[in-house]
Amino acid sequence: MMKLRQLLQGVRTVRTETDPQGDVSSICYVAEACGPGSLFVAIPGLAFDGHHFIGRAIERGARFIVHQKDIEVPDGVTAVQVSDSRRALGTLAKNYFGDPSSRLTLIGITGTSGKTTVSYLLESILTAAGFRCGVLGTINYRYNGKFFPAPNTTPESYDLQRILNEMADAGVTHVIAEVSSHALDLKRVDDCDFDLAVFTNLSPEHLDYHKDMEDYFRAKQRLFAELLPRSRKNLPCKAVINADDPRGRRLIGEISVPVLSYGLENAGGVSAQNAVVSLRGIRADIRLNGEKIPVSSGLIGGFNLSNILAACAAASVLGAEPRAIAAGIQNLSFVPGRLERVVPSGGVHVFVDYAHKPDALEQVLRNLHGLKQKRILTVFGCGGNRDRAKRPMMGGIATEWSDLTIVTSDNPRREDPLEIIREIEAGIDETRIRKASPEGLEFDAAGHVYTVLADRRAAIEAAVRIAQPQDIVLIAGKGHEDYQILGTKKVPFDDRLAAARALRLKFSGRMSPAFSLAEVLAATGGRLAAGDADQTVYGISTDSRQIRPGNLFVALAGEHFDGHAFVAKAVEEGADGVLVADAGKIKIGTANQQIGVIEAADTLRALGDLAHAHRRRFSIPVIALTGSSGKTTTREMLACILGQEKNVLRTEGNFNNLIGLPQTLFRMTDQHDAAVLEMGTNTRGEIKRLTQIAAPDIGLITNVGPAHLAGFGSVEAVREEKGDLWLHMDPAGTAVVNLDDEAVRRTADRWSGRRVTFSMSAGADVGVNDIRRNGARGVSFHLLMNGQAHKVDMKVAGLHNIYNAMAAAAAALACGAGAESIRRGLSMFQPVGGRMEILRLQNGAYLINDAYNANPASVREALLTLRDLMNSHDAFVLLGDMLELGDAAPEMHRKIGLLLATIGVAAVFLQGDFAQATAEGAREGGLAAERILFLQDDEEAVAFLKRKLRKGDWILVKGSRRMKMDRLAARLGEAIGVEKAEDQEAAL
């Protein structure tokens, strides 16, 4: 309840009849929303007049009426006449909800085009900067993971104040609002205090509402000339304006508030340099406040570079750091319905865009024309019961810039679709553009062609069916809309879903990625020995046993095999192309003359080059991680974190080498928002090459220790090899640095770019405190980030896993992940099989399966974790050799023996060539000889353990991969029994 006199503060009243002291239960401007004690505001609308519904509002219980026309009300109803009831509604709502914009940072974005994209970009940047964002826009209203339908770009004033209040109460700090010319003209936002306003551009639109372009401009100008000057907010700069736009420049000259301008052509305060715009995205250096910020975006087109500048300018005014700006731009892979790519693509570039007016359609097509590799095919129509003057203009634009145009329906509403199409056709120059029948439709090498298919679904299907790899298909007009308006009904229809279905049908059974042989040649520097350079291959394979139709088979030569011996088999299985070292030495049969044959001297290098070319098709953040131990667990933790917000591509299994990493990259599609790649090495130079292939944006070295010394010779050489990740990364990237590892710190001294750090000590970007060991349940701790502590309960044990968690959190932070996603991802993380995987056996003992691999550091961490877990119970260890340690192997094993003695295990079973060295260390450390056993027979060991194990005891199984110690973990589980997952949870 609120007193009427309180609500009326600031409202310009003409007169008030009866008592202004009454209690108001709610405010409404729709009669059906009224209830007992409501205040109804009668607004003269564009279609209906609220004054005609006053009686209905009173019937439903309204006892207060705000009106601008003369009315009579019954006794007991208070009438308040105002000069402008629409304007009064905003003030009443502001008072009712406690002036919510004063509790928020409010950013308004206005302009004909780009509002939605700038709002998405700015939301992504501010989120990366640690702010909590809400958005009011064309596509939806959203905050804190909640999404609501958007009936208008800018809500009615009452709804606007209500939503702002909900956002403020929910902890939102920044609200980004798309502000339409209608909202400004109808004064929906007049009772909001804006901190900042952004002007993108102005071109003809809404001229069925505005008298002319000057009237349209004046509506937009109100935000900057009237509302910003009276705002009580105190940012040093209040306006961000596009200096490339003529009316933007005019606006700069006509307003009094401080302005930060941006532009691609008229360099203002914010500009771009070294821009590369392609069908896979945008890369550029943003010049901002004297700094250079390298950015990478998945958005398409030069106009989106302008939108990026607008978002960068606004973000800088709002206090976002350069690294948050770069991360936020990269994190946004697409904007719904704004040149949104449709997948699967099969090599055809299919985009859905909201362009539904002449200027927007021409802008999109101009940009695509500059990026096209082959041809452009456009599907579009015009809405019914809307501005008819634009129809012939759009017909002329579409056919001028497209090789083939299909004119179809949009939202015909109450008009005849064919009549709308005839008006579109009136603008097509039939002396230059040939009209073709939709049957047997195809491109015409002699010139541009168009046809008519009124059924929008059929038009989309025809366009996809005709298109070939490297063609562009633009489906324009409806963008994000998931409906079509036929008559007065909304029928479910989504351009994106229709196009995706057509693509799946077209490329059914074919694999990704798609390459023309010309692209393979360009990527690898190879020679075309046979076939047509325009031929397309689908999917890359190095295994003749797993060939799929259309594949390119890459023949690799190894120590124990040579893929060239299997080329003929690969072709028999359906390969359409082969990449070989010497085309003269292969035979593929005379019946296979259409097979493409490419010759490259080093096919392994060519494989990597091709993977690199595919990776460069995408502008998603790529995180690469390496280290002596913890790589896989950290990789999975990081993927779990990023998976809270993104679709993540990650290395699977041990695909972390010069063959496996390319195969991971070939799985990258437009559906991925980020990639997490593990890099392994046992020979000098591998990390350098893997970095060249993956071109990571973020690089993490977990730690450096004595691993693979047979190949490297010394820990110093290991450090140099791991350090190649940062040495060969793009200088604009980010290094994630473990400050507690002295070797990693030394390596980081060579890195001059952005870094995100983690440490157990104070002063790092990511840290921990309040560590609590919870036995078999794992560990709990507070993760420290951005000056705040976040409680994390992890289902894995061991101090080393806390380091892995810090590493993953720091990498996620570098990628722009939010604190809650990091906390939730770590809490949801499940142990990786064979890596400190704790299983409760049916006899009450616990089995730690850490048999995936072993080096001195990982064995030490496993044994120390075992010591923490065993408490007063017995511990048993089954330990295989640590391999690839070279001359240091005996001493490394002796030291592990010493540690075994320190822990005081009940028994240890040793296996391998260095078992005696481990035993010597254990005896030297004081472990009784009868507790040191040599593993001769698996069944004897299992029987021994079955006899000795008691409830609460622990078994650790550990060893290098080639020792196959996982067989013992599996056998113990079989012999004793492993509790079901739900029983384990209950026990823990």
pLDDT value at residue 696: 96
pLDDT value at residue 33: 96
pLDDT value at residue 586: 86
User: Residues of the chain with pLDDT > 70: what percent?
Assistant: 98
C-alpha 105/C-alpha 901 separation (Å) is 61
Position 179 pLDDT exceeds 50: yes
CB 862 within 8 A of CB 903: no
C-alpha 318/C-alpha 236 separation (Å) is 10
Which tokens go with 745?
């710190």
Instruction: Give the dihedral of Cα atoms 57, 61, 64, 68; nearest 10 deg.
Output: 10
pLDDT average, residue stretch 457-478: 95
Helix axis angle, 889-903 to 915-924, nearest 10°: 40
Position 19 pLDDT exceeds 70: no
- Kindly report, residue by residue over 719-741, the tens digit of the pLDDT: 999 999 999 999 889 999 999 99
Backbone angles phi, psi at 143, to 5 degrees: -170, 150
Angle at 816 between CA 811 and CA 819, to 5 degrees: 85
Q: State the sign of the Cα–Cα–Cα–Cα dihedral 723, 725, 728, 733.
A: negative
CB 663 within 8 A of CB 610: no
Which tokens go with 365?
């097509």
Q: What residues have CB less than 8 Å from 380, skipping those under 6 apart?
A: 355, 361, 394, 398, 405, 406, 407, 408, 410, 474, 475, 476, 477
pLDDT value at residue 590: 46
pLDDT value at residue 266: 76
pLDDT value at residue 318: 97
Q: Name which of 742, 743, 740, 747 is nearest 767 in CA terms.
A: 740
- Kindly report, residue by residue over 505-545, the tens digit of the pLDDT: 888 767 788 899 999 999 999 999 999 988 999 999 999 99
DSSP-assigned states of every residue in 5-61: HHHTTT--EEEEES-TTPEE-EEESSGGG--TTEEEE--B-SS-BGGGGHHHHHHTT
User: Hey, which bits of 45-131 come out as E strands?
Assistant: 64-67, 78-82, 105-110
DSSP tag of 481: -
Q: State the sign of the Cα–Cα–Cα–Cα dihedral 303, 305, 311, 314.
A: negative
Buried/exposed code over 291-329 (b: 16+ C-beta within 10 A; e: otherwise): eebbbbbbbbbbbbbbbbbbbbbbbbbbebbbbbbbbbb
Segment holding 151, helix H or strand E: none
**Residue with more model confidence, 937 or 20:** 937
Position 647 pLDDT exceeds 80: yes
- Kindly report, residue by residue over 383-406, the tens digit of the pLDDT: 999 889 999 999 999 999 999 999
- Kindly report, residue by residue over 276-311, the tens digit of the pLDDT: 999 889 999 999 988 999 999 999 999 999 999 999
* Number of helices followed by number of strands (H, E) in the chain: 32, 49
DSSP-assigned states of every residue in 812-881: HHHTT--HHHHHHHHHH--PPTTSSEEEEBTTS-EEEEE-S---HHHHHHHHHHHHHHHTTS-EEEEEEP
C-alpha 241/C-alpha 260 separation (Å) is 7
Q: What is the 3-state secondary structure (H, E, C) of 196-255?
A: EEEECCCCCCCCCCCCCHHHHHHHHHHHHHHHCCCCCCCCCCCEEEECCCHHHHHHHHHC
CB 459 within 8 A of CB 417: no
Banded pLDDT at 986 (limits 50, 70, 90)? very low
Q: What residues have CB less than 8 Å from 422, skipping those under 6 apart?
A: none
Q: Name which of 310, 308, 301 is nearest 248 in CA terms.
A: 310
Segment holding 278, helix H or strand E: strand 270-278
pLDDT value at residue 983: 55
Instruction: Give the dihedral of Cα atoms 236, 239, 241, 243; nearest 10 deg.
Output: -50
pLDDT value at residue 762: 86
CB 621 within 8 A of CB 675: yes
Position 659 pLDDT exceeds 50: yes
- Kindly report, residue by residue over 784-834, the tens digit of the pLDDT: 998 899 999 999 998 899 999 999 999 999 998 989 999 999 999 998 888
- Kindly report, residue by residue over 112-148, the tens digit of the pLDDT: 999 999 999 999 999 989 899 999 999 999 998 889 9
pLDDT value at residue 776: 86
DSSP-assigned states of every residue in 504-517: HHHTTT--S-EEEH
- Kindly report, residue by residue over 846-861, the tens digit of the pLDDT: 999 999 889 999 999 9
* Pairing of β 483-486 and β 489-492: antiparallel
Banded pLDDT at 584 (limits 50, 70, 90)? confident
C-alpha 113/C-alpha 536 separation (Å) is 37
User: Residues of the chain with pLDDT > 90: what percent?
Assistant: 81
Domains and CATH numbers, the chain: 2-96 (3.40.1390.10), 100-331 (3.40.1190.10), 340-506 (3.90.190.20), 514-610 (3.40.1390.10), 618-828 (3.40.1190.10), 837-987 (3.90.190.20)
Give the amino acid at 143.
Y
CB 97 within 8 A of CB 84: no
C-alpha 950/C-alpha 439 separation (Å) is 79
pLDDT value at residue 711: 79
Banded pLDDT at 593 (limits 50, 70, 90)? low
C-alpha 7/C-alpha 91 separation (Å) is 8
CB 306 within 8 A of CB 280: no
Position 984 pLDDT exceeds 60: no
Average pLDDT along the chain: 93
pLDDT value at residue 981: 53
CB atoms within 10 A of CB 148: 13
pLDDT average, residue stretch 172-193: 96
CB 333 within 8 A of CB 619: yes
